[in-house]
């Protein structure tokens, strides 16, 4: 049985994940509108990832007989002046999610709910990786330049550049 405090913070986190999924969908739309399908694909995948986190936490709450409360999502930001600004926003989004996940973890420890803490561990590590990969992307965009002439190249090679960045970390 989960404590009231743990259920409350988990329910808060489901809304954070759902909002993050929505935010990524808005970024996919922004990318499609700018004719950047390679980057849009990255955001569609990110939106699915966040939705899977949302579902995972909803199911965890429900499996422990504390009904998950499904909250409404807010209107995501959809206006940006450059790809660099988009990824700076993504960094803030991920960092905000890290702070929220850390809060869930600390409430679990405060309540001596080590099982839920263990459940949250994967989220903690994933947040660290997400922040790092967004930092790498920002570095890549700054290096290549985010002027229009470079956008075509970045978009076309986005997946390749991502794989390269991941490989150089390994």
Residue number with CB closer to Fe ion (31 or 100) = 100
Residue number with CB closer to Fe ion (68 or 151) = 68
With contacts defined by CB under 5 A, name the span among 27-35, 45-53, 60-68, 151-159 that binds Fe ion: 45-53
With contacts defined by CB under 5 A, name the span among 47-55, 66-74, 77-85, 110-118 that binds Fe ion: 47-55
Residue nearest to Fe ion (CB): 53
Q: Tell me how far, at minimum, the Cβ of 137 lies from Fe ion, in Å.
A: 17
Single out the residue of 53, 93, 116, 137 in contact with Fe ion (rule: CB under 5 A): 53
On the 0-12 / 13-18 / 19+ scale of CB atoms within 10 A, 50 is buried
Q: Tell me how far, at minimum, the Cβ of 48 lies from Fe ion, in Å.
A: 11
Residue number with CB closer to Fe ion (25 or 36) = 25
- Distance (Å, whole) CA 51 – CA 139: 27
14 is a contact residue toward Fe ion (CB under 5 A): no
Residues in contact with Fe ion by CB under 5 A are 17, 50, 53
């Amino acid at each position: 049985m989960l404590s009231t405090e743990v259920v409350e913070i988990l329910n808060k986190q489901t809304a954070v994940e759902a909002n993050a999924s929505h935010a990524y969908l808005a970024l996919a739309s922004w990318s499609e509108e700018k004719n950047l399908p390679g980057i849009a694909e990255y955001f569609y995948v990110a939106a699915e990832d966040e939705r899977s986190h949302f579902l995972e936490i909803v199911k965890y709450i429900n499996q422990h007989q504390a009904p998950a409360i499904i909250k409404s999502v807010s209107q995501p930001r959809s206006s940006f002046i450059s790809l660099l600004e988009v990824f700076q926003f993504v960094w803030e989004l991920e960092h905000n999610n890290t702070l929220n996940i850390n809060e869930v973890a600390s409430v679990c420890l405060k309540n001596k709910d080590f099982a839920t803490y263990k459940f949250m561990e994967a989220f903690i590590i994933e947040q660290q990786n997400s922040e790092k990969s967004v930092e790498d992307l920002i570095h890549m965009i700054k290096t290549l330049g985010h002027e229009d002439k470079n956008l075509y190249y970045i978009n076309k090679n986005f997946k390749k550049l991502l794989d390269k960045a991941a490989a150089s970390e390994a």
